[in-house]
Structure 1
Amino acid sequence: MPSRSIVIHTTRRQLELYEGNRLIRHYPIAVGKGATPTPPGHYTIATKTVFPGGVFGSRWMGLSIPHYGIHGTNNPTSIGQAVSKGCIRMHNHDVEHLFQRVEVGTPVIIQR
């Protein structure tokens, strides 16, 4: 079975889910603002939490870089903008869809 991976394009504000080399879904996202940019690099999903509370919406997927993650939002109008403290913010229905399709250890590549 081909492995899944996530590619995040911060300038396009888009998250892509791949199965092997095949794009299977893409989602609009919000990324870090100028003072707190989303850090480019190669990471993995380190933790998964359902209903983490607060501003993180309905799901949290912590990355292997501390204090950063892919999460939902309680402010859906922010999606598509550079407004976060470096995390990748998604609509709650999108983050729930993604959450079901990835596991701890899934590679995450963040590009500009």
Structure 2
Amino acid sequence: MKNINISKTQVIINIAAQTLTLYHNEVMSHHYPISTAKNGIGSQQDSGCTPLGRHVIAQKIGGNAPMNTVFVGRVATGEVYNAELESQHPQRDWILSRILWLRGLEDGVNKGSNEQGGCDTYQRYIYIHGTPDSEPMGVPLSHGCVRMRNADIIELFAQVAEGTPITLIDS
């Protein structure tokens, strides 16, 4: 979407409620069910947890990809997710359709490191991304990222820009 005013657009992710809410000009415009980490809240490297705090969208990836495009290492594989592909790769953590790569803004909380080690959201590869539509929403099941329905991530992707503020809260 052209001419997005990021100062007037923000996203709030409520981990307790398993929801993502998009605001334009301080008015809620969209509300989506999501799935965050099955390991809960946390920011440490290799924790498999979803980090809290203030973030921004660092990179938008996959803008012209077809729905259900499979990404590995933030690169489209040329595959389009379907049941047959899933049966061939049952252990794959599916990243589909679009990626919004997050960057933490709070030193020692979700940026850089702290006394326990690395806690950097960007270096942990924490994204908002699509997942198979057969996966439940409203239930924490991810490996740390924020999962969304494919149609929802495509809709959200079109309404945000790199630099859009994203805040992850636990209540």
TM over 0.5: yes
**2:102 counterpart residue number:** 63
Q: Give the TM-score taking structure 1 as reference length.
A: 0.92
CA gap 1:77/1:52 in 2 versus in 1, 3 angstroms: closer
Bigger Cα Rg:
2
Cα displacement (A) at 1:78: 2.8
**1:45 counterpart residue number:** 57
Look up the equivalent residue of 1:99 and give its one-letter code: F
Number of positions where the alignment pairs a residue of Structure 1 with one of Structure 2: 112
Gaps of 5+ in 1: none
Greater shift, 102-111 or 43-52, is seen at 43-52
Q: Distance in 1 between matches of 2:147 and 2:24?
A: 22
* Bigger share in strand: 1
Q: Give the TM-score taking structure 2 as reference length.
A: 0.61
**2:44 counterpart residue number:** none
Q: Distance in 2 between matches of 1:102 and 1:57?
A: 18
Give the 3-state SS of the residue equivalent to 2:157 in structure 1: helix
Look up the equivalent residue of 2:134 and give its one-letter code: P
Greater shift, 47-56 or 99-108, is seen at 47-56
Greater shift, 34-43 or 3-12, is seen at 34-43
- Give % identity: 32
The answer to whether residue 79 in structure 2 is matched with residue 74 in structure 1 is no
The answer to whether residue 48 in structure 2 is matched with residue 36 in structure 1 is yes
Gaps of 5+ in 2: 40-46, 63-68, 73-93, 104-120
Give the 3-state SS of the residue equivalent to 2:153 in structure 1: helix
Q: Distance in 2 between matches of 1:70 and 1:47?
A: 11
Greater shift, 32-41 or 4-13, is seen at 32-41
User: Which 4+ runs in 1 deviate beyond 6 A?
Assistant: none
